[in-house]
Amino acid sequence: MNDAIKIRILQGDPIIHDVKSAVGLPLFRGLPTIQDKPCLDGCNKCTEVCPTNAIKLSPVKIDMGLCVFCPECEAACPEKIIHFTNNFHTVTDSKEKLVVTKETQNVTPEIASEKIRKYFGKSLKLRQISAGGCNGCELELNALSNVNFDLGRYGIEFVASPRHADGVVVTGPITQNMAKALEIAYEAVPNPKIIILFGACAISGGIFQNSDKTERKFLEENIIDLFIPGCPPHPLTFMNGLLDWLDKN
Amino acid sequence: MKWIDVQNNQSFDLESIVYLRKDDFSNTVSELLQTGSRMIALTPIDKNIPQKIIAVLSDSASSTIHIVGGNFSDGKFEFESWANKYPQTNYFECELSENYGYLSVNHPWLRPVRKQSVILGNKPYQFFKLEGEEVHEVAVGPIHAGVIEPGHFRFQCHGELIYNLEINLGYQHRAVENLFLKAKPNQRIFLAESIAGDTTIGHTFAHCSALESLTQTQISLRADVIRTVAAEIERIAMHLSGLGGLTNDIGFALPSASYGRLRTLAINSLAAICGSRYGRGLFAYGGINFDFTNETIEMVTENLKTIQNDVQKINEYLFSSVGALSRFEETGIINNELANSIGLVGLAARSSGIEDDIRINFPYSAYRYNPVSMITLSTGDVFARARARAMEMDEALRFVFEQIENLPQGKIKSEMGNLNVNSGVISIVEGWRGEIVHIASIDNSGNLMQYKIKDPSFNNWYGLSLTLRNTAISDFPLCNKSFDLSYSGHDL
């Protein structure tokens, strides 16, 4: 018993109390910013080093849905136009809004409809489905339940059965071998239900966008509610996105 | 000589491989298996010439890798299976059969590795089925109860006891190996980072070492040391995660929550080094992208000191708890003989008393100058695999502190040259689970023509299925977590 108390004391107070204003470590790569200045003539160093074709030029735009938040483009840009901040707020409610331009200041999802907030505002149970995820996203989603992030305090939890869920969180580029299982699991979730895409692979295929073993029809056939960019997204990105969306932040 | 011998990360001329006729090939591989070598790959060295294959075997005792070539140009793709005598080759033969249509004659149990509804040999595959009174079947997955990757498990039970567990994987198959061949050179590191997201550093380490050998790029000692430090922090983080999972599975909440908190500190140390909690973006061809500054060293030291201090007390609490020990001890046993015969690797193998650690047996990078100690336990049960995690963590912490105190000076990145034509390399790394093998070969115009990956999970899934024989289904989560294998690393 004494030992248990000692260990409990070691735990201290590890929880992140202020989720909204928490920022990442100095080197953490969150929301990118694009400075309003011209590129050097004919320079395309950033697009050349980008592993997922996330950058478009003239003017410079970064699609966070494709971006794996690697350090390459920032290091390659001779004019220091691209910079990754340690801001966790990158979640959007549409694919188009994932594109960061020089005008982008803040990224937050539009507050969900009254109906969604009425249904899920106080309690949201989610079923995660890994469809080709490398376990990076899965680790971060698991981390949400640990003592540092404790997602449960907001009434948001992961459940075992799709029958108990209000929606699905999809990770991975959706492999052919998982396409059917994903469909069945989604079907098993009672209405109304939401779909959240977690990570670059789920949103765009990410580094696996050229794989011939993926089957992404599910995404075309269903309406996606939230896009959570990253590779993998930070737990605080997920939390802030959901809390903003449900107007709880 | 019927085969060629190479070292870990030593690039070799593809012309030097001796291709034997099929009977000779089969006998030579048998001979090597007989003398204690372990198979680490069985694949064509050129994806487009499936009739010429290589069997790669590693000999821990002499730190040598043997490459035996087999030429099947004049006849059927058939050879006598080794698996009846050496079960460790079983899965490699299944993989070769699935990918390139080979048939290993008299193979005890050809089954699919990654493809669904596959035809192996000449009949469609059926799950193993047990029939009789008091017999029932439990099918689980591909989607499991937790936030984990997908895989299908089929238990054939006799009353309460599991008679056989068949593990059917492939749901995560993204064709990573093919993507390596198709990818632009600047995409490859990112593919390597996403082979298994929990072993980002392990796989990227193996990939970078392979390509650096093929371009004869010299890595500075500083970059080498930082790479190994990052690899050990990954080991610490994932062992903490493993212990957290094991304690969670036996309903021991306090240690579970504590290990979870400490793991955050470990992965945040990686984020302090390179911005990503899993070490993404750290590795670059020719070195690393982020140097250690005083601030990084300070933060990493502080985090790891907390881990070292706390984990000691939590381990003591856990491993002196009668309740925990009674669940861990004698659960999911895999004895030394069985572990050897099925070719178990890494942490699981060392927990069954096999002295096999790539950092020691096939030293690479900075481990050549800064050795780590081998940690082995003999009981091969869940307890051993839990205890081994705790002990390896201590050793990793010692290693990291020692290295960052005496960090060599130097640049962190060297320029990488062009790929040597007509050459190949075998790069082996000890990830936190065990042996990671990357094999790359370059054609005569300097392009990658084969990229073969073997995650430790490829060997160890079979071990998990065997540990469950004659135990109750209720032991499955605990046994599973004690191995903590990768689905995506296996499925590729």
Q: Please state the ipTM of this predicted complex.
A: 0.92
Contact B138, B163 (CB under 8 A): no
Q: In this predicted model, what pLDDT tens digit does every residue of B287-297 receive, in sequence order?
A: 999 999 999 99
Mutate to test the interface with A, among B194, B265, B302, B314 (most CBs of A within 10 A): B194
DSSP B170-225: -TT---HHHHHHHS-GGGHHHHHHTSSGGGHHHHHHHHHHHHHHHTTPPPPHHHHH
- Which whole-number Å values give the CA distances from B301 to B222, B239, B306, B395, in the listed order? 18, 18, 9, 15
Q: In this predicted model, what pLDDT tens digit does every residue of A146-197 receive, in sequence order?
A: 999 999 999 999 999 999 999 999 999 999 999 999 999 999 999 899 999 9
Report the gap between the CA of B136 and the closest CA in chain A (Å).
23
The pLDDT of residue B119 is 66
Cβ <8 Å between B190 and A160: no
Mutate to test the interface with A, among B172, B186, B292, B413 (most CBs of A within 10 A): B172
Pick the CATH number of B176-456 from 2.40.37.10, 1.10.645.10, 3.40.630.30, 3.30.70.2190: 1.10.645.10
Chain B residue closest in CA terms to A184: B143
SS3 state at B56: strand
The pLDDT of residue B120 is 61
Contact B257, A146 (CB under 8 A): yes
SS3 state at B348: helix
B312 touches chain A (CB under 8 A): no
Q: In this predicted model, what pLDDT tens digit does every residue of B283-324 receive, in sequence order?
A: 999 999 999 999 999 999 999 999 999 999 999 999 999 999
Higher pLDDT, B126 or A225: A225
Cβ <8 Å between B277 and A181: no
The correct answer on CATH 3.40.50.12280 for the domain covering A114-245 is: yes
The pLDDT of residue B176 is 93
Mutate to test the interface with B, among A16, A84, A130 (most CBs of B within 10 A): A130
Rounded CA separation A178/A171 (Å): 11
Contact A216, A84 (CB under 8 A): no
The pLDDT of residue B121 is 60
Higher pLDDT, A227 or B102: A227
The pLDDT of residue A65 is 93
Confidence band (pLDDT; 50, 70, 90) for B107? confident
Q: Residue B383, CB half-sphere, CA atoms under 13 Å: how many?
A: 18
The pLDDT of residue B446 is 86
Confidence band (pLDDT; 50, 70, 90) for B122? low
Fold of the B4-113 domain = Beta Polymerase; domain 2 (3.30.460)
Whole-number percent of chain B with pLDDT over 90: 73
In A, which residues are within 8 Å of B234 by CB distance? none
* Average pLDDT along chain A: 92
The pLDDT of residue B201 is 95
B472 touches chain A (CB under 8 A): no
**Rg of chain A in Å (alpha carbons):** 19
Report the gap between the CA of A97 and the closest CA in chain B (Å).
24
Q: Is pLDDT at B387 greater than 90 in this prediction?
A: yes
SS3 state at B112: coil
For residue B349, which phi and psi values (nearest 5 degrees)?
-65, -45
In B, which residues are within 8 Å of A70 by CB distance? 190, 280-281
B335 touches chain A (CB under 8 A): no
In B, which residues are within 8 Å of A213 by CB distance? 173-175
User: Domain limits of chain B?
Assistant: 4-113, 176-456
Phi-psi region of B126 (alpha: psi -120 to 50; beta: other; left: phi over 0): beta
Q: Is pLDDT at B486 greater than 90 in this prediction?
A: yes
Q: How many CB atoms within 10 Å of residue B46?
A: 17
A105 token code pair: 């200041």
Cβ <8 Å between A135 and B486: yes
Q: How many CB atoms within 10 Å of residue B298?
A: 12
Contact A75, B289 (CB under 8 A): yes
Q: If we measure between CA atoms, which residue out of A94, A84, A168, A160 comes closest to residue A133? A: A168
Q: Is pLDDT at B440 greater than 90 in this prediction?
A: yes
Q: Is pLDDT at B227 greater than 80 in this prediction?
A: yes
The pLDDT of residue A62 is 93
For residue A62, which phi and psi values (nearest 5 degrees)?
-120, 125
Q: In this predicted model, what pLDDT tens digit does every residue of A185-235 receive, in sequence order?
A: 999 999 899 999 999 999 999 999 999 999 999 999 999 999 999 999 999
Q: Is pLDDT at B485 greater than 90 in this prediction?
A: yes
Contact B45, B54 (CB under 8 A): yes
Q: Is pLDDT at B118 greater than 80 in this prediction?
A: no
Mutate to test the interface with B, among A50, A158, A213 (most CBs of B within 10 A): A213
In A, which residues are within 8 Å of B316 by CB distance? 3
Rounded CA separation B58/B403 (Å): 29
Rounded CA separation B199/A230 (Å): 18
B318 touches chain A (CB under 8 A): no
In A, which residues are within 8 Å of B279 by CB distance? none
Helix (H) or strand (E) holding B231: helix B221-249
The pLDDT of residue A103 is 87
Contact A10, B317 (CB under 8 A): no
Confidence band (pLDDT; 50, 70, 90) for B398? very high
